[in-house]
Amino acid sequence: MATPLAPRREIFGWAMFDFANSAYTTVIVTVVYSVVFPKLIVGDGPDYRQGNLLWSVALSCSYALVVLSAPILGAVMDHAGHRKRWLAGSWLLTVLGTASLYFGTPEHVWLAMLLIVISNYGFSVGESFTSSFLPELGPTESLGKISGFAWGLGYFGGLVSTAAVIFGLGPQTPENFERLRLVGPITAAFFFVGALPTFALLKERAVPKPLPAGQTWLTVGFSQLAGTFRALRSHRDLMVFFGSFFFSMAGLSIVISFAFIYGDQVIQWSPTSQTLMFVITQFTAAIGAVAFGFIQSRIGDMKTYGLTLLIWTGTVGLIAFSLPIAGALGLEPEHFFLIVGCFAGGCLGATQSAARTIVAVMSPPDRVGEFFGLWGLFGKLASIVGLLSLGLLQSALGLQNAILVCGAFFLAAFFVSRMVRVAPSPVSP
84 close to 199: Cβ distance less than 8 angstroms: yes
Alpha helix segments (H runs only) across 81-195: 83-99, 109-131, 140-169, 177-180, 183-194
Please name which of 342, 244, 353, 245 lies closest in space to residue 291, comparing C-alpha atoms: 353
pLDDT at residue 192, rounded to an integer = 97
What's the average model confidence in pLDDT over 210-214?
74
| Amino acid 366: pLDDT | 73
CA distance 406 to 387: 10
Q: Is 426 a member of any domain?
A: no
Reference 149, options 257, 31, 297; nearest CA is: 297
pLDDT, the chain, mean: 87
Percent of the chain with pLDDT over 70: 95
Mean of the pLDDT values across residues 158-178?
A: 90
Rounded-to-integer distance, Cα 280 and Cα 285, Å:
8
State how far the Cα of 141 lies from the Cα of 112, in Å rounded to an integer. Answer: 44
Q: Please give the helix or strand (H or E) that residue 41 lies within, else none.
A: none
Contact yes or no for 25/158 (Cβ under 8 A): yes
- Res. 365 pLDDT band, cuts 50 70 90: confident
Predicted confidence (pLDDT) per residue in 179-188, tens digit: 999 999 999 9
CA pair distance 361, 358, nearest whole angstrom: 5
Among 415, 285, 407, residue whose Cα is nearest residue 351: 285
Q: What is the pLDDT of residue 197?
A: 95
pLDDT tier at 151 (50, 70, 90 boundaries)? confident
Q: Choose between 378 and 15: higher pLDDT.
A: 15
Predicted local confidence at residue 5, as pLDDT: 82
Q: For residue 22, give the H/E element and its range.
A: helix 8-23
Q: How many residues does the chain have?
A: 429
Report whether pLDDT(130) > 70.
yes
pLDDT at 408 over 90: yes
Amino acid at 328: A
For residues 264-273, give the mean pLDDT: 89
Q: For position 423, what pLDDT does the model report?
A: 65
**pLDDT given for residue 74 in this prediction:** 66
Average pLDDT over residues 168-177: 90
Which is nearest to 125 in space by CA: 200, 72, 52, 167?
Answer: 72
Per-residue pLDDT, 383 = 92
b/e per residue, 378-413, with b = 16+ CB within 10 A?
A: bbbbbbbbbbbbbbebbbeeebbebbbbbbebbbbb
59 within domain boundaries? yes
Average pLDDT over residues 146-165: 86
Query: Within a domain: residue 427?
Result: no
- Would you state the pLDDT for residue 188? 98
Q: The domain that contains 246 carries what CATH number?
A: 1.20.1250.20
Greatest alpha-carbon span in the chain: 73
Question: Do the domain assignments include residue 209?
Answer: no
**Has residue 426 got a pLDDT over 70?**
no
Number of structural domains (the chain) is 1
Residue 372 clears pLDDT 80, i.e. is over it: no
Banded model confidence at residue 20, pLDDT cuts 50, 70, 90: very high
Judged against a pLDDT cut of 80, whether residue 173 lies above it is answered with: yes
In a domain, 424, yes or no: no
Looking at residue 267, what DSSP letter applies? I
Rg of the chain over all Cα atoms, to the nearest angstrom: 21
> What separation, in Å, do the N-terminal and C-terminal C-alpha atoms of the chain show?
17
Model confidence pLDDT, tens digit, residues 41-88: 998 777 889 999 999 999 999 999 988 886 677 666 767 677 888 899
Q: Above pLDDT 90, what percent of the chain? A: 49
Q: For residue 90, what pLDDT band results from cuts at 50, 70 and 90?
A: very high
Query: CA 73 to CA 69: how far, in whole Å?
Result: 6
> What distances in angstroms separate CA 235 from CA 240, 258, 371, one per listed residue?
9, 35, 11
Residue 353 CB-half CA count within 13 A:
38
Q: Which domain holds residue 65?
A: 9-202+220-417
Nearest to 161 by CA among 191, 197, 137, 199: 191
Higher-pLDDT residue of 113 and 220 is 113
Q: How far apart are CA 288 and CA 315, in angstroms?
A: 15
Q: What is the mean pLDDT of residues 300-326?
A: 93
